[in-house]
Structure 1
Amino acid sequence: MNQLRTMRDLLVHDIQMMYSAEELGLEGLATLVENVSDARLRAAFEKHGVETKRQVARLEQIMELMEIKPSREVCSAMKGLLTDAEKLMRKESTPQVLDAMLLAAAQKMEHYEIACYGTAVQMTEDLGMTQAAELLRQTLDEEKRTDEILTELAKQRVNVKAEVL
C-alpha cells in the first residue's frame, strides 16, 4: 500500500508493521534467552516468547478479519531496537551487566509494542471494529504485564546485581 488515504489504510499499515515487529521480536527474544545468565530473567523471556507466538496468531486473525496480508516491509523501529541490542552485546561486560542490558533492551521493545497496540486499539474502536479491538486489547494487556514483570526483575534482582560490581 503506497498511499494512506483513510484511517483504515493507516490501521492496515500499522497492523502489518506490528506483525513484522512481533516476528522480529521472536527472533530477538531467542537471542536474549541465549545470552542471559539470570534464571528468572531467562524464564520471563521464555514465557514472553510463548505469549508472543499467541500475539502473532492474534494479528493473523485480525488480518483475516480485515482481509489483508502481511507486508514484505520490515518494521524499522523494531529492527533498530534489535540492532542496538546486538551492538551492546558485542561490548565487553560482566554477566550481571549483560543481564541488565538485555533486560533494558527487552523493555524498550515492550514499550514500543505497548505504544503500537494502544494506538491500534483506539483506531479499531473508532472504526467500529470491536472484534479486532478486543484481540488487540488482549495483546496490549499482555505487553503491559510483561513490562511490569521486567521492571520488578530489574528493581529486585538484575540491576541490583549489576550495580554491586
Structure 2
Amino acid sequence: MAGTTRTSSRTTKAASSRSKHNGDSRFHHLFMDELKDIYWAEKHLVKALPKMRKAATSEELANAIEEHLEVTKEHVTRLENIFDMMGVRATGKKCDAMEGLIAEGQTVISDTEEDSAVRDAGLIIAAQKIEHYEIAAYGSLRALAMKMGHTEAASLLEQTLDEEKETDQLLTEIAESSINEEAAAE
C-alpha cells in the first residue's frame, strides 16, 4: 500500500507539473492572441482616423484627431517591437470590437450634417468608445506581460496605455469646453 501511495504521489506531481507548463503555454497563447487583436485594431484605426479628422467641424477636434493619428502610428511600431521581443512576426487577428467601433464612427458621419457641432459631439463619443476599448486592451496586456515577466514589453504597453488615457482626457476636455454646449444649441 505504501508503494502505491508513493507512485500515486509522483504521478500527481508529474501531472501537476505538466498542467502548470500547459497553463503557462495557454497563458502565453492568450497574451499573443490579444497582442494580435490590438495590432489589427491599431492598424485599422490608422486608416479610420483621417476620415474622422476630415469630418470634424471643430479645428480643435480635428487637430486632436490628427495628433492621435500620429501617436497611433507609434503604437503600431511599439507593438511590432513587442512581437520582435517575443520572437515572432507581427501579425494581426481581426478585432471584431474595433471593426464595430470604427463602423459606429462612420455611422455618426453619415447620419449627421456637415459643419455641425452635433457631428463633432458624435465623433467625440465614437472616439472615446475606441479609447476606452484600447485602455482595456492595453491595461490587460500590460498585466499579462508583467505576470509572465516580460518587463520590457510591459513598459511599452504601459507607455501606450498612458497615451490612450491622455487622449481620452483630451477628448473629454474638448467636449466639455465647447462642443457639447454648441451641439445642444443647434
Q: Match of 1:85, as an amino acid? A: G
* Counterpart in the other structure of 2:48: 28
Using the alignment, how far apart are the partners of 2:68 and 2:93 within structure 1?
A: 24
What displacement does 1:89 show? 1.7
Aligned residue for 2:149, secondary structure, equals: coil
Q: Greater share of helix residues, 1 or 2?
A: 2
Greater shift in the superposed pair: 102-111 or 71-80: 71-80
Using the alignment, how far apart are the partners of 1:26 and 1:72 within structure 2?
A: 14
* RMSD value, Cα: 1.4
Matched, 1:48 2:63: no
Using the alignment, how far apart are the partners of 2:79 and 2:156 within structure 1?
A: 8
Aligned residue for 2:111, secondary structure, equals: coil
- Of 31, 40, 43, 1:11 maps to 31
Using the alignment, how far apart are the partners of 2:158 and 2:180 within structure 1?
A: 30
* Counterpart in the other structure of 2:11: none
What displacement does 1:69 show? 2.5
Retained in 2: the 8 A contact 1:12–1:68?
A: no
Matched, 1:128 2:149: yes
Pair 1:72–1:44, CA change in 2 (3 A): closer
Matched, 1:138 2:159: yes
Alignment length, in residue pairs? 162
* Counterpart in the other structure of 1:93: 113
Q: Bigger radius of gyration, 1 or 2?
A: 2
The TM-score, its normalising length taken from structure 2, stands at 0.83
Q: How many percent identity over aligned positions?
A: 36
- Of 121, 128, 147, 2:168 maps to 147
Q: Match of 1:120, as an amino acid? A: L
Retained in 2: the 8 A contact 1:124–1:133?
A: yes
With a CA cutoff of 8 Å and minimum separation of 6, indicate the structure with the bigger relative contact order.
1
Greater shift in the superposed pair: 93-102 or 107-116: 93-102
Aligned residue for 1:73, secondary structure, equals: coil
* Counterpart in the other structure of 2:183: 162
Aligned residue for 1:6, secondary structure, equals: helix
What displacement does 1:24 show? 1.1
Runs of at least 4 residues off by over 4 Å: none
What displacement does 1:159 show? 1.0
The TM-score, its normalising length taken from structure 1, stands at 0.93
Where do 5+ consecutive residues of structure 2 fail to align? Answer: 1-23
